[in-house]
Amino acid sequence: MSKDEAYAELRKRPDLEQTEADARKMLDEIRAELVSRIGIAPWEPGKGEAYTGSACGGDFQNIPGAEKRRFSSGRSPGNLPDAKWAEALELVKSIAGRYGFNRQGTVVDRPSDHEVTFGNDYGAELWFGTAVNTTLSLTTGCHLTREAHQRGTP
């Protein structure tokens, strides 16, 4: 893919600021529902930055203004009991699906240790898991910043 084709593809996507707002909204909704409906412990913020950013790779490397972001949702202290895992997973799947995260994969599935991912059409990945603690994180796909999106040329 040429640089112009890659840039044109990125312009079809929502800009990074909109993607970030949607990601934060989804993570907030999932955390709140897990606490209220499943009964897990309230979330504690992670240490360090709320998100980190990086340049894109693959077809989108070296495109000015193209970035990915990773959000950590902190943790809910303690393990989510196996008896509640299926219900919690269905809740996360339902909410994530409303935000376009329709590709599900299992990373780990054994007693007291579960981790799944959900992906979207832009290469984003949502991670949900439980072992020592229950965690939730998200990495966006590659998106242009609002400024780069509006600029119209690479």
Number of folded domains in the chain? 1
Q: Where does the pLDDT of residue 150 fall: very low under 50, low under 70, confident under 90, or very high at 90 and above?
A: confident
| Amino acid 50: pLDDT | 65
pLDDT tens profile 45-74: 876 556 678 889 888 998 999 999 998 888
Percent of the chain with pLDDT over 70: 95
Going by C-alpha positions, the residue among 21, 39, 23, 29 that lies closest to residue 134 is: 39
Cβ neighbours for 124, distance < 8 A, ≥ 6 positions apart: 19, 23, 101, 138, 139, 140, 141
Domain enclosing residue 39, as ranges: 3-151
Cβ neighbours for 32, distance < 8 A, ≥ 6 positions apart: none
For residue 36, what is the DSSP state?
Answer: I
| Tokens coding 70 | 């990773």
Kindly state the average pLDDT of the residues 98-109: 95
Distances (CA, A) of 97 to 6, 19, 26, 61: 26, 15, 10, 28
> In angstroms, rounded to a whole number, what is the distance separating the alpha carbons of residues 19 and 84?
30
> In angstroms, rounded to a whole number, what is the distance separating the alpha carbons of residues 151 and 154?
8
Residue 4 has pLDDT above 90, yes or no: no
| Amino acid 151: pLDDT | 82
What average pLDDT does the structure give for the chain?
92
CATH of the domain at 8: 3.30.2030
Question: Is the pTM above the cut of 0.85?
Answer: yes
